[in-house]
Amino acid sequence: SPKRFGEDPLTPGLKPMNYKTKLCSDFQKEFACARGDACHFAHGEEELRKPGEVKPEDFKTEEEMVNESLDREGAIPAPGPRIFLRREDLFWIELDTSEEVPKQLEGLPMEAVVLSTNCKLIQGKGLPADGILQTMLSDEVKELRFIDDADWKELPAVGAALKKEMEQKEECFTAVICPTRSLWAVGVGMRGKARWIAVKLALALAVALQQEEILEEPPDLSQYPLMVDLVKHAGEAKKMLN
């Protein structure tokens, strides 16, 4: 049977009293941490604990934790070991056709892919968003238009679509428009720098899926295996629109 974190299967593995009681300074500054899951500091407010606090997951094997997350959160399975996303990490929104389309989005599709800064597949992975976009769009990157709408004033229709998909939560978002491809994408999250990374990666996903749909030769993303996984996830999530 799988080995548990502690010697006694009913006892959680011993962790320092200050485990996850403070935020990781590296993660706060760069939204990345070389220690990954082994870091004893919290990667975000949701990981913070009280001194000596024990969490239910401390009693479980890693396999059990993953399987429960898949069942509970409706995650989208992907090839390979222990790679999964929660529904709110990567999804698609569709603007309400009964309402006026924002002027900035006129002539573009009503739907867009959304990537959250909370997505575990991009947190601390150091994916070079600018480099990936350059690989996929070349000189077209010069035409990109970004709209950082933290207070939902410029694109209220996008905010409403996000709220509908995010269980009425209101989060800051940044949209990017690619006029040369007639695409747009959204990054959501409270931290501005991380949100800009997320929106660039979201557009890269939209471009990759468009290339698949029109049978265009896609760029080689083999050096970014996580992007390959994200493209597959985005494709599966898009099917939920229909």
Higher pLDDT, 170 or 202: 202
pLDDT at 91: 93
For residue 173, give the nearest of 161, 190, 197, 153 by alpha carbon: 190
pTM above 0.85, yes or no: no
CB 119 within 8 A of CB 189: no
Tell me the β-bridge partners of 188: 116, 173
Question: Looking at the predicted structure, is the pLDDT value of residue 3 above 50?
Answer: no
Tell me the two tokens of residue 235: 């494709």
How do residues 85-123 score in pLDDT, each as one tens digit? 677 889 999 999 888 899 999 999 999 999 999 887 787
Mean pLDDT of the chain: 79
Whether the per-residue pLDDT at 167 is higher than 60: the answer is: yes
**Which of 60-64, 82-86, 105-109, 177-181 has the weakest average pLDDT?**
60-64
